[in-house]
Amino acid sequence: MSLFKRCSTMKDLKQVHAHIILTGLYQNLYVIGKIIVFCAVSEHGNMDYAVLVFDKIENPDGFLWNTMIRGFVKTNQPEKAFEFYKRMQEKGEVADNFTFSFLLKFCGQLGTVMLGKQIHCDTMKNGLESHVFVRNTLIHMYGMFKDIETAHRLFEEIPSPDLVAWNTILDCHVNCGKCREALDLFLLMLQSGVEPDEATLVVTLSACSALSSLDFGRWVHFCINHTSLGDVVSVCNSLIDMYAKCGAVEDAYKTFNKMKGKNIVSWNTMILGLATHGHTNEALAIFSKMLEEKLVKPNDVTFLGVLCACSHAGMVDDGKRYFSVMIKDYHIQPTIKHYGCMVDIMGRAGFVDEAYQLIRRMPMECNAIVWRTLLAACRVHGNVELGEKVRSHLLELEPDHSSDFVLLANMYASVGQWSEMTRVRKAMQDRRVQKPAPGNSFIGIQGSMRLKMETEDGGKHTRTCTAQVH
């Protein structure tokens, strides 16, 4: 056991394994289980070696079967995971709540609805459907399948849902785009006397972000402001994101400055929030401060925010410089989003031909979004010849996208080519291409309730707050 504690590589483990064989302990389930756990769970493990060891065991117990299944889930090997589940059944080993939790979670990740339902049936056959771990994983799985009705029904069947169950169903609703319903559930959770944790607040604030529900987000912030949760980095990051996406950039900036400890997500969220709303100088100042403090290293998302800021301000040279710095100094490989930002920077400034050449040099296939960005720039700057080239590329990717027809028609109109504009409009009608339906907005409905949460000194802190759901 002392040797296992010192294992950090597969080479170390193999030496210990050899010693186990020499001492005749290779059938001791507790000892051999340590090898399988290392191979299946450790980041330095090896599932192929775990299989070799497992197949030598005469009578593996449920823990070893579960560890193997868990390892296949971790290493994304679905065929092996379900093969071992089948072997487990054939050997007469009874699956338990851990077995089903691993398999159901895997079904949700894979999006295999039919297989997920089959495993759900197996949980019922084994009388484990109501087990707290299994039930919460079932709810999560159906949420991953976007089957919010089944997920909600399973949740409602729980007599007294615990915090994990509430967090799971909240996350399911947000994942399925049912953000308004998620906020209603959050209020019901508080009414039932269950106190939120950081996971609850993160998912609730993400629902506020999606709905641009600033009043509700401010209410949540007010309620947590004097609790220990107000200092949790993930909660602060969610508050910054919520304020930024709701347009309250000053509130986001205040929250950012008050944070005691910032991680890379904190910096990225603030830079992107400022850049998105056109606060270029402030975004670049935050980036410079981040580099000066040297507490965190910028990543691909950081530079996405920086390039977005340059795009809003028309800073072509700065954009090119940051793009080069990202590659040469930080060895970050640009993604399609980074190239899209560069196309937008050059296109806005009128360098449409240069933007086109950049697209042609990209190491990956260009998507419709980037081509459409360039087409919009061609329309603004009246470059009909290049616009037609770009349109030909879009026809191969998305031939019936309404905005492409509109952009092309408007480009012809901007240079007085009315016959061409009419031709494009007629083609749009002949192909029955429709513009997207207009968006909708929600009117806020006020209500009030009482919220009880733990304060830093461990006492109960009660506030009466007004919540507004949009």
Residue 122 lies in a domain: no
Is residue 250 a part of any domain in this protein? no
Q: Is residue 374 part of a domain?
A: yes
Q: How high is the mean pLDDT of the chain?
A: 88
Tell whether 402 is covered by a domain. yes
Q: Would you say 468 and 214 are in contact if contact means Cβ atoms under 8 Å apart?
A: no
Instruction: Count up the domains in the chain and report the number.
Output: 1
- Please, which pLDDT band fits residue 354 given cuts at 50, 70 and 90? very high
What is the pLDDT, as a whole number, of residue 464? 42
CB atoms within 10 A of CB 276: 17
Q: What pLDDT was estimated at residue 451?
A: 46
Q: Is residue 278, in this structure, part of any structural domain at all?
A: no
pLDDT digits (tens, 9 = 90+) for 265-294: 999 999 999 999 999 999 999 999 999 998
Dihedral sign, Cα of residue 88, residue 92, residue 97, residue 100: positive
**H or E element that contains 465:** strand 460-469
Q: pLDDT confidence of 461, banded at 50, 70, 90?
A: very low
Tell me the pLDDT band of 135, cut-offs 50, 70 and 90: very high
Rounded CA separation 260/257 (Å) = 8
The number of beta carbons lying within 10 Å of the beta carbon of residue 114 is 7
User: Residue 426: inside a domain, yes or no?
Assistant: yes
Q: Can you read off the two tokens belonging to residue 340?
A: 């899209």
Q: What is the pLDDT of residues 8-18, one digit of tens each?
A: 788 888 888 88
Query: Is residue 42 in some structural domain?
Result: no
Lowest mean pLDDT among 140-149, 164-173, 447-456: 447-456
Percent of the chain residues past pLDDT 70, beyond the cut: 90
Domain membership of residue 393 as a residue range = 362-434
Instruction: Determine, yes or no, domain membership for 367.
Output: yes
* Stronger pLDDT, 409 or 18, i.e. the higher one: 18
